[in-house]
Each structure stands twice: as C-alpha cells, then as structure tokens.
Chain A
Amino acid sequence: MLHIVNKSSFERNSLKSCLNTIDDTSIILLIEDGVISAANNVNSYMLADLAADSRVFALQEDIDARGISSKVADNIKLVDYAGFVDLVVEQGTAVSWV
C-alpha cells in the first residue's frame, strides 16, 4: 500500500494520521507541501525509523521547488514523477491523506 502525504506536519495532522494506519509493508510518499516533512526539523523523528527501513520517499521536484534539497533527512529516498508512477504501480492501493 502506498500512502501519499501532501501537507506539512507543521500545518496538518495528515502525516500523524497516516502513521497511525500503516502496516509493516506500507510505504510513504511525500509530495507537495508534504516534502517539508522530508527535511531535517523537529518533526523528523516521526519518519526516522521508517526511513531507516527504506520506506519513505519524497518527490524530488517538490523538494527542489521549495529549496530544501540540501536539508533532506537521512535515508529518505528521492523519486521524480516517473518514480512516483512506479511506486503507484508497484505498491498496490494508493491512499491519499488529503
């Protein structure tokens, strides 16, 4: 299952709710303002363990647009839109935390 989070954890609770609901095989993709959660900040702990398990992805284009490419936290994998498509194809049902 692919969980897509598009809001900053400073603005909404969608990342928190998503984390409450994922199983051992789910992966998380951060897009739009969701990529703010991919940067090193006080909320990074929320994703650290999952990232260490290679289960957190962030959309490169959205990271670049927001000027935070040098701030990406450890172990977060970057994908482009083509990679986004691959994740949707490979990971089964997509859940958007809009």
Chain B
Amino acid sequence: MSTKKFIYLNRKAPYGTVYALESLEVVLIAAAFEQDVSLAFIDDGVYQIIKGQNTDGIGMKNFSKTYHALGDYDVNKIYVSAESLEERGLSVDDLMPLTYEDEDDDWAEKTSIKIISNVQLTKIMSEQDVCLSF
C-alpha cells in the first residue's frame, strides 16, 4: 500500500463536543496503516493536550492520557500553533509532555511536540496529501 502524508487538523476543545475524542480514535486506528501521520493542534484544539485535565465533576471520561500512547504508535509529529497558545495565555509548559522513543537514536526519549509559527504551519499543510478535519 502506498504511503501518503495525512494531517489531522484539531481545532476544537475537548468535552464540549465529541470531535477531539473521535479524532483521537481515528488517529489510533490510522497508525496501523503505516502512513506518514502528523497532528496539528490549533485554535481551541490546543486545549486537547493541556496538562491537568480532571473530568471527575462532569461525568465524562478523561481521555487526555491516551495522547501519551501516540508515541508508541509512531505518531510523533505533533504540531502546536505558537500563535494559538499565545492568544490563550498558554505556553509549552502547560502542555502534556508527549514523547516517543527514537529507534534511529538508540531509543532515546524525545518530545513529539513541536511549537510552530504560522509560516511553518503553512509549509507543513502544503506538503500534505490528505487533511482530516475534526
């Protein structure tokens, strides 16, 4: 099967709507297809991977821990918009430390998160074959 570049465009906060959860479910299934996968978190999508989510009081499943599994699925290109973070008073320190083990570098643990400018995001978007929006 041919390899294509897939990007998952995540622009909505979790819990208020189901898009974030069901987007994550697609990404986890997609990993089995061995495509080139990137995730982009922009606008309120950045809240999907923020630290310290606690859903006890709303009776919904806290699925934020699942993002930690992405590295094990070889999903390690997680792009986060610098502008979206800044607009919301957030920084990289507010995000969950999502990592992967680099098999080409003696399984060293590395961060999957790349904070990118709009210019970088534009370039990454322009390289994609398929964009799935949630």
Which residues of the other chain, B, contact A46 by a CB distance below 8 angstroms? none
Q: Which B44-100 residues have a C-beta within 8 angstroms of A?
A: 83
What is the minimal beta-carbon distance from A16 to any residue of chain B, in angstroms?
A: 9
Interface residues of A, dominant DSSP: loop
Total residue contacts A-B, CB cutoff 8 A: 39
Contact A95 B129 (CB under 8 A): no
Which residues of the other chain, A, contact B128 by a CB distance below 8 angstroms? 93
Contact A21 B43 (CB under 8 A): no
How many residues of chain B get a CB closer than 8 Å to chain A's CBs? 17
Which of B28-36, B102-110, B117-125 is near enough to bind chain A?
B117-125
Contact B42 A93 (CB under 8 A): no
Which residues of the other chain, A, contact B11 by a CB distance below 8 angstroms? 14, 17, 97-98
Interface centre among A14, A21, A23, A25 (most CB of B within 10 A): A21
B9 proximal to A (CB < 8 A): yes
Which residues of the other chain, B, contact A94 by a CB distance below 8 angstroms? 131
B130 proximal to A (CB < 8 A): yes
Bound Cα distance A95, B118 (Å): 16
Contact A17 B130 (CB under 8 A): no
Bound Cα distance A94, B131 (Å): 7
Bound Cα distance A93, B121 (Å): 15
Q: A93-B129, A97-B133 are in contact. Are A23 and B122 (CB under 8 A)?
A: yes
What is the minimal beta-carbon distance from B62 to any residue of chain A, in angstroms?
A: 25
B126 proximal to A (CB < 8 A): yes
Chain B positions near chain A (C-beta within 8 angstroms) = 9, 11, 42-43, 83, 118, 121-123, 125-126, 128-131, 133-134
15 A-B contacts (beta carbon < 8 Å):
A1-B125, A17-B43, A20-B118, A20-B121, A21-B121, A21-B125, A23-B122, A23-B125, A25-B126, A93-B129, A93-B130, A94-B131, A95-B125, A98-B11, A98-B134
